[in-house]
Structure 1
Amino acid sequence: MSLSMVIIVVGMTAVTYIPRMLPFIMFKEKELPVFWQGILRNVPHATLGALIFPGILTFHENSWFGIAGAAAAFLIAFMGVNIIFTVLGSIGVLTILSML
C-alpha cells in the first residue's frame, strides 16, 4: 500500500470520526431541550424512509407493485403488529399479487 493510500484512509477516517464524536464531547453533561430531543428521536425513521422509498418505486417493472407492498406494510404496521409480521404480511400480499 502506497503512502498516498494510507493518507487517504487516515483522512477519510478523521472526516468520518470527528462529526460522530463531536456531539458526544459537546453535549456530554448537557440536557438537550425537549424540542430537539423529539427531532433527533425521529431522524432514524426519516432516514429509513428516505432510503426505502426509491426502492419501492423501482422494485418491479410496474411501480404499482411496490406501492401495493408498501401500502400493505404501512397498514399492517399501523395496526401495531410486530415488525417481523409486518414484513411477512407485505411479502404475502406481494406473493398473492404476483400470482394474479
Structure 2
Amino acid sequence: MDKNIYIYILVMGVVSYAIRAIPLTLLKKPIKNRFVRSFLYYVPYVTLAVMTFPAIIDATRSPVSGIVALVTGVVTAAVGFNLIKVALSCCAAVFVTELIMQLLNMIQ
C-alpha cells in the first residue's frame, strides 16, 4: 500500500498538468464566442462560491448560526461596508446567535 501512494500522486500530478496544458496547446487563437468567454469569466467565482458556502455553514457549532453569519455578511457587503467590518459583523452575528441558542438550550 505504501508504494501505491506514489502512483496516486503521479497520476494526480499528470491529470492536474493535463487540465492546464491541453487548453493551451489546442486553443491557439483567442476565443471569440461570447457565451464561452462569459462562461470562462465566471468559473473562478463559481468555484470559490462552491467551496466557501458549505464551509461557512459547517464552520460553526450550529448550521443556524452559519446561515445567520452568511446573511449578515451578504447584507453588510451589499450596504457597502469594507472587508474588516463585514468580517467583524459576521463574527458578532455568530457569537450572538450561538449565545441566544445556548440560553434557549438549543445547543450544548
TM-score (norm. length: structure 1): 0.72
Question: How many residues matched?
Answer: 99
| Contact 2:60-2:94 at 8 Å conserved across structures | no
Structure 1: 4+ residue segments shifted above 6 A:
none
- 2: CA distance between counterparts of 1:89 and 1:59? 16
CA-based RMSD of the aligned residues comes to 2.6
- 2: CA distance between counterparts of 1:28 and 1:81? 42
Instruction: Return 5+ residue gaps in structure 1 as ranges.
Output: none
Q: For 1:43-80, what per-residue CA distance to the aligned partner results, in whole angstroms no more than 9, with x for missing partners?
A: 22222221122223333343211100000011112223
- 2: CA distance between counterparts of 1:53 and 1:18? 28
Q: Percent identity?
A: 23
2:70 maps to a residue whose letter is A
Structure 2 equivalent of residue 66 of structure 1? 66
DSSP 3-state at the match of 2:38: helix
Structure 1 equivalent of residue 29 of structure 2? 29
- 1: CA distance between counterparts of 2:33 and 2:6? 41
Between 1:81-90 and 1:43-52, the stretch displaced more is: 81-90
DSSP 3-state at the match of 1:89: helix
Deviation at 1:38, TM superposition (A): 1.5
TM-score (norm. length: structure 2): 0.68
- 1: CA distance between counterparts of 2:14 and 2:69? 40
- 2: CA distance between counterparts of 1:95 and 1:8? 42
